[in-house]
Chains A and B, each alone.
Chain A
Amino acid sequence: MSRLLEVKGIRVGYGTVPVLHGIDIHLDEGEAIGLFGPNGHGKTTLLRALSGLLRPEEGSITFDGKDITGAKPATIVAAGLVQAQQGNTMFGDMGVEETLELSAFTPRARKDRKGRLAEVHALFPRLAERRHQRARTLSGGERQMLSIGCAMMCAPRLLILDEPTLGLSPRLKGELREAISVIAEKGVPLIVVEQDVEFLLALTNRLYLIEQGEVASEIDRDNAPDHQEIMDMYFGEQAH
């Protein structure tokens, strides 16, 4: 299988504060991977760098054979690397349907926007019910659906989901996870950030543990650790 994404030794910081100290991750065509690890250790920073919202000081990002290190976000989305941010309101004063239509913005995404809108409505029927509502009036779960729906409208060739179920009720969590599994079954390559390692293991082929701005370990689904070992990774050996 061919390499879709190759991240090599990227270092990213905010001003003089370094956050990522050289990260290597990769993803093959048709693969889904997961990122997990404690909060504040660089997962979201890594995703911002992938989407071009932050410029890496060192290292390279290659997507689909093209070097996209330091490219503009618009160029990266046009190439098909799309991200659904966590807890994103999108555009508060814009209607749900209008936001989804607008999200098919790049020429590649515009081509089949009707079909893709139907797909998003099938995935999240609630977005169809709320089509004329302003985004700011949506509940937390609906906002998350809108955020993922917008990313789907961009015609992703690689979809990044940042903590898609954070802070949601167990019922909504289940609903969203089901939708994400449907997206994965469609064959859209995924990078999913989640704290729930069991969910990630069910959904993805490989996991990266991001800790203190580095890849602390890489886990294959086929020799996955048990629950206790995961707890150890999170909290150190003292959890015993």
Chain B
Amino acid sequence: MDGVLIPTLVSGLLLGSLYALMASGLSLIWTTLGVFNFAHGALMTLGAYIAWTVTEQLGLGIALGFVCGIGVAVLAGILIELFLVRPFYESRNMMLITVMTTLAASTIIERGISMLWGPRLKQLPRVLDGQVNILGAPVSAHEAMIIGLAPTVLLALWWYTGRTSRGRSLRAVGQNQDSAALIGIDVPRTFSLAFGLSAALAALTGILLGSIRFVTPGLGADPLVNAMIVVIFGGLGSLGATAGAAYVIGLLEALLVLWLGLYWTPSVLFVLLILVLVFRPNGLFGRAS
């Protein structure tokens, strides 16, 4: 067992890191606008394909791949907000309508990617080569980099939304739009900011994921479901709760795969989610409101 446990924990940490990056983007949009962006997974995929084209087809290197992948996703995220979410702000059914419109965006982006890039599997290069040892288990340096990068990005995001004026405005708009407008915060622009930032996190996750798995048009679909579990499981709202839940789910998933196998793991995760919500309706780390 010893020989398996450490690698399993490491792969749990890796999963947790990717979920944390992805779920924090979803959570950002949820706390600012009160909607779920179902196109989040498609933005991940878009970022990965753009990065692949820049890196492999144009041969411009992975660093520029990251920049372009994230840049295009940010643009797409802002356009989704502008054309598919903004027209429905005033509607009472905004949340349901935006489920449909963002699902539509997701389908359009994924089909568009299939058309443009074709069905062949792609692979992004690793940022770092070689191996490092974590607690005696050999781990690729690239995966170790992801495990270290995720908390760094989350800390930066936490600092941004907690300490800077522009970042605080995201939380303010989420809590009281009228009050935010009355102290001079441009509410629609803050919505664009939330979508842009969230898309950047999605693309970053997509590019990282595309370098440890194959890049396919469905790259973001499965992780999106798990990222949604993470956001709800953690208790909708706070960045810290989302990050905590991401690591819990990541480690749990890795251990469940070890104990039960790949087949039953998603079902068991859902059952656990429902159980947590029965006993803690505000999520694992959510405050009673």
Contact = CB atoms under 8 A, between A and B. Distances in A.
Contacts of B172: 91, 94, 99, 102
Q: Binding site of B, secondary structure by majority: helix, strand, loop or mixed?
A: helix
Contacts of B182: 51, 53, 73, 77, 82-85, 151
B169 A90 contact: no
A106 B184 contact: yes
A119 interface: no
How big is chain A's contact interface, by range? 20 to 34
Interface residues of B, number: 19
Contacts of A78: 184
B165 A110 contact: yes
Contacts of B189: 74
A112 to B, nearest CB: 15
B181 A85 contact: no
Nearest to A98: B168
B249 to A, nearest CB: 24
A85 B184 contact: no
Nearest to A78: B184
B131 interface: no
A197 to B, nearest CB: 26
Contacts of A154: 183-184
Given A98-B168, A102-B169, A91 B176 contact: yes
Interface in A77-122: 77-78, 82-85, 88-94, 98-99, 101-103, 105-106, 109-110
B171 A93 contact: yes
A150 interface: yes
B235 to A, nearest CB: 13
A74 B181 contact: yes
Contacts of B179: 85, 88-91, 150
A96 B178 CA distance: 18
B168 A72 contact: no
B72 interface: no
A58 to B, nearest CB: 21
B95 interface: no
Interface of B: 165, 168-169, 171-172, 175-176, 178-187, 189, 237
29 contacts: A53-B178, A53-B181, A53-B182, A73-B181, A73-B184, A74-B186, A77-B183, A78-B184, A82-B182, A84-B182, A88-B176, A88-B179, A90-B179, A91-B171, A91-B176, A93-B171, A94-B168, A94-B171, A94-B175, A101-B168, A102-B168, A103-B183, A106-B184, A109-B184, A110-B165, A150-B179, A151-B183, A153-B183, A154-B183
